[in-house]
Homo-oligomer: A and B are copies of this chain.
Amino acid sequence: MKNHWIAIDWGTTNFRAFLMQGSQHVSRISQPLGLLSVEKGQFAPTLQNLLHAWLEEYGSLPIVMAGMVGSQQGWHEVPYAPLPCNTQDLASRMLAFTTPWGSPAWIIPGASGTSSFSQPDVMRGEEVQLLGLAALRPATQHIALLPGTHSKHAQMLNGEIVSFSTFMTGEIFSLLSQHSILGRALPEQQEDRHAFLSGVKAAAQGAPFTHLIFSARTRRLAGELPESSVHSYLSGLTIGYELLALPAGQHAWVVGSPSLTERYQLAAGQMDLNLSPANGDECFIHGLWHLFTRLQGNE
């Protein structure tokens, strides 16, 4: 029992928990209970309820959390760690507290810095996946792409996060397909690999984004794009546009769920980019394990 602990990724829309035994997970919970579903001040009872079965069986296990749970809108705000940062920096800035039922708990800080394009930038949760990636795939340098609502492109040197940039790819795709003229009044959408790849190809030509997306309308008007494939085309456009920002000619990791990493690899193939997949859950668990052991002083 002394090796059990709980790893949690608590984001804006999703909650995921892993019952851990050392560095291995033995069980998991996944619920659409992100921050937006938790009423102000209800984080403790919500979590106790979600973890009920594990707490019953193992008692007040240590809990390590990452993600938006540490934001202004979260349970406890944990200030961002400034770049560059490594495992030690993040571990030393964790917020420690005790839950009402007696679990020792920690929240990992996010990271903040200046993007490759001179904009202020922030992340919460992805820093853990990055540390996990560096631990699982040791190398002097890592370029990693973490796709999602707000994709992150990060660079690591010797296990240290040195820079990153956010791309609002997933959110922009949702806005365009659900609320714009491009996605309006469409029949049921089909997954269309050809339309996806033609979107990637269009994006790869380097047109300004607000011009590029209008092609989802003009190609439809011209009969080049089936009405049922507009979402696939928009997905190709937005992912292709994001991939243009990867440094050319260098290997990069794409860290996420198999369905998402596969989609990015398909686009990368069209653009002659060298992208290898890494499992997002494995990276998260491994990164959190490293932070937890650093915390315990037993690494």
Name A244's closest neighbour in chain B (CB-CB): B208
Select A202's contact among B119, B172, B179, beta carbons within 8 Å: B119
Select A167's contact among B118, B211, B238, beta carbons within 8 Å: B211
Q: Is the CB of B168 within 8 A of A210?
A: yes
A171 to chain B, nearest CB (A): 6
Select A176's contact among B121, B165, B175, beta carbons within 8 Å: B175
Q: Is the CB of B180 within 8 A of A211?
A: no
A160 to chain B, nearest CB (A): 21
Q: Is the CB of B119 within 8 A of A208?
A: no
A residues 168-223 near B (Cβ < 8 Å) are 168-169, 171-172, 175-176, 178-181, 202, 205-215, 217-219, 221-222
Select A242's contact among B166, B207, B210, B214, beta carbons within 8 Å: B210
Q: Is the CB of A238 within 8 A of B210?
A: yes
Asked if A150 lies at the interface with its beta carbon under 8 angstroms from chain B, I say yes
Q: Is the CB of B119 within 8 A of A214?
A: yes
- Give the distance in Å from the alpha carbon of A202 to the alpha carbon of B165 in the complex: 15
- Give the distance in Å from the alpha carbon of A114 to the alpha carbon of B212 in the complex: 12
Asked if A120 lies at the interface with its beta carbon under 8 angstroms from chain B, I say yes
A210/B209 contact (C-beta < 8 A), A121-B218, A171-B180, A181-B171 known: yes
Contact bitstring A81-102, B, C-beta under 8 A = 1, else 0: 0000000000000000000000
Q: Is the CB of B210 within 8 A of A172?
A: yes
A residues 134-181 near B (Cβ < 8 Å) are 150, 165-169, 171-172, 175-176, 178-181
- Give the distance in Å from the alpha carbon of A81 to the alpha carbon of B181 in the complex: 23
Q: Which B residues are in CB contact (< 8 Å) with A181?
A: 171
Name A153's closest neighbour in chain B (CB-CB): B211
A169/B210 contact (C-beta < 8 A), A175-B175, A179-B179, A180-B175 known: yes
Q: Is the CB of A208 within 8 A of B121?
A: no
- Give the distance in Å from the alpha carbon of A75 to the alpha carbon of B242 in the complex: 40
Q: Is the CB of B167 within 8 A of A122?
A: no
Q: Which B residues are in CB contact (< 8 Å) with A214?
A: 119, 121, 150, 166-168
Name A207's closest neighbour in chain B (CB-CB): B117
7 pairs across A/B with beta carbons < 8 Å?
A112-B218, A117-B212, A120-B218, A121-B214, A166-B214, A167-B210, A208-B244
Known A119-B218, A179-B179; further 5 A-B contacts with Cβ < 8 A: A119-B211, A120-B219, A122-B217, A171-B181, A209-B209
Closest 9 pairs (CB-CB, A-B): A117-B207, A209-B209, A120-B218, A119-B215, A166-B214, A175-B175, A167-B210, A168-B210, A179-B179
